[in-house]
C-alpha cells in the first residue's frame, strides 16, 4: 500500500472526502515527524512506538578505493510494533 492507497482507504472507512482524508493523513505524518525531530517518541498503544536512535561516528571503507572514510554521527528513526499489531498480523 502506498500513500495514495492509504488516503483512499482512510476516506472510504471514515466517510471523509478524499481531500479531508489527505489532510488527516498528512497531519498525522507531520505530527510524528515533528515529535521525532525534537528527540521525543510517539507511543500508539496497541499499534507501536516510533523513536529516535543515535548512531555514533565511525570509520568505514570506500568499497571502490578501499580507503578509510569517516562516517558522521546521525539520528535514525525506529519503529517497534506493539502487541495489538503483532497479534493482528499473526
Domain-by-domain residue ranges, the chain? 1-39, 41-90
Q: What's the confidence (pLDDT) of residue 55?
A: 93
| Burial 71-84, CB ≥16 within 10 A → b, else e | eeeeeeeeeeebee
The CATH label, of 3.30.70.370, 2.60.40.1930, 4.10.520.10, 1.10.287.610, for the domain at 41-90 is 4.10.520.10
Residuewise pLDDT in 10s, the chain (90 residues): 999 999 999 999 999 999 999 999 999 999 999 999 999 999 999 999 999 999 999 999 999 999 999 999 999 999 999 999 999 998
Q: What's the confidence (pLDDT) of residue 22?
A: 96
Q: What's the confidence (pLDDT) of residue 36?
A: 96
Q: What share of the chain is helix, strand, coil (3-state, %, to 5)?
A: 45, 30, 25
Strands 58-61 and 48-55: unpaired
Amino acid at each position: 500500500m502506498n500513500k495514495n492507497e492509504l488516503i483512499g482507504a482512510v476516506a472510504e472507512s471514515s466517510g471523509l472526502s478524499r481531500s479531508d482524508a489527505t489532510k488527516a493523513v498528512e497531519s498525522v505524518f507531520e505530527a510524528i515527524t515533528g515529535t521525532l525531530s525534537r528527540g521525543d517518541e510517539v507511543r500508539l498503544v496497541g499499534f507501536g512506538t516510533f523513536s529516535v536512535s543515535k548512531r555514533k561516528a565511525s570509520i568505514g571503507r570506500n568499497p571502490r578505493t578501499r580507503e578509510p572514510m569517516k562516517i558522521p554521527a546521525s539520528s535514525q528513526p525506529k519503529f517497534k510494533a506493539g502487541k495489538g499489531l503483532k497479534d493482528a498480523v499473526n
